[in-house]
Amino acid sequence: MESFLTSLGPSKALAPLEIFFSLCMSFVLGMTIATVYRYTHQGFTYARSFLQTMVLATIVITIMIVAIGNNLARGLGIMGAMAFVRFRTPIRDPRDIIFLFCCLAVGIACGSQVYNVALMGTAFFSFAAFFLMWSPFASRREFEGLLRFLLPPNSDSQNQVDNIFQRFTTHTEMVAMREAIQGEVLEYSYSVRLIDPSYKTDLVDALGKLPDISEVSLVMQRTTVEI
């Protein structure tokens, strides 16, 4: 009962130097996480304000934890105050949410003066982010694209098309075939996987040199869909 009442009362105040060190630690680690996010980010959703938000959120959480300490009344008061706040800014990428959560966790560790957890957690999180960026983990398609071209029915160039596929691709699969230009030609659509990404131009040029083929186009799925 006495310990419970103590938790409701004032907690031991930290020295100004201890508070300053916690804030400096949260700022440095928040900057580290933001830098890792900057170098590992892929896609078009990059925003400078989000990086600043991560650093500032780390500092704010540190201030909250230092203010609460082991005082239950302060914790309940801050929870009540935060309940009135509504964050309506949409975060499109779930990966951004994880980086923001990491900043909040580091801020809690710095505010609680558990510096070993903050340092080791930031280091391991950064290592995991760089590892996932460099490794092919979770990548389902490698140099895959959609190839389309027009070819007359019963054309002698079909065998040459198959030979070209063997030279530049590791896998081909016909997606669709339909009549075009009132049945004069057939439009072929193939899902292709290139041996090397530099073969894009070579594959299109080789098919374009065939006498009967026309309107050759190749859309790479990696560069247009996987952001």
Number of domains in the chain: 2
Q: Residue 18 and residue 163: Cα distance in Å, rounded?
A: 72
Residues 6+ apart with CB under 8 A from 111: 22, 26, 61, 62, 63, 64, 65, 66
pTM metric for this prediction: 0.60
CATH number of the domain that 217 lies in?
3.30.70.260
Examine the domain organization and report whether 163 and 185 are in the same domain.
yes
Report which of 215, 211, 218, 217 is spatially closest to residue 155, judged by C-alpha positions: 211
Examine the domain organization and report whether 25 and 59 are in the same domain.
yes
- pLDDT for residue 225: 45
Examine the domain organization and report whether 107 and 67 are in the same domain.
yes
- pLDDT for residue 123: 97
Among 134, 160, 175, the domain boundary falls at 134
Are the C-beta atoms of residues 162 and 148 closer than 8 Å to each other? no
Domain-embedded: residue 86: yes
Report which of 90, 189, 82 is spatially closest to residue 146, judged by C-alpha positions: 189
Ranges under pLDDT 50 in the chain: 4-10, 223-227
- Note down the domain range covering 167: 144-224
- pLDDT for residue 44: 65
Which backbone phi and psi does 185 adopt, to 5 degrees? Answer: -135, 165
Residue with the two structure tokens 């063997």: 166
Which backbone phi and psi does 117 adopt, to 5 degrees? Answer: -65, -40
Examine the domain organization and report whether 129 and 35 are in the same domain.
yes
Q: Residue 155 and residue 213: Cα distance in Å, rounded?
A: 9
Examine the domain organization and report whether 126 and 154 are in the same domain.
no
**pLDDT tens-digit readout, 97-123:** 899 999 999 999 999 899 999 999 999
**Encoded tokens for 208:** 């374009």
Degrees, nearest 5: CA angle 107-110-116: 120
Examine the domain organization and report whether 88 and 154 are in the same domain.
no
- pLDDT for residue 124: 97
Q: Residue 97 and residue 192: Cα distance in Å, rounded?
A: 35
- pLDDT for residue 5: 44
- pLDDT for residue 172: 84
Examine the domain organization and report whether 114 and 160 are in the same domain.
no
Q: Residue 129 and residue 36: Cα distance in Å, rounded?
A: 7
Are the C-beta atoms of residues 219 and 158 closer than 8 Å to each other? no
Q: Which helix (H) or strand (E) holds 148?
A: strand 144-151
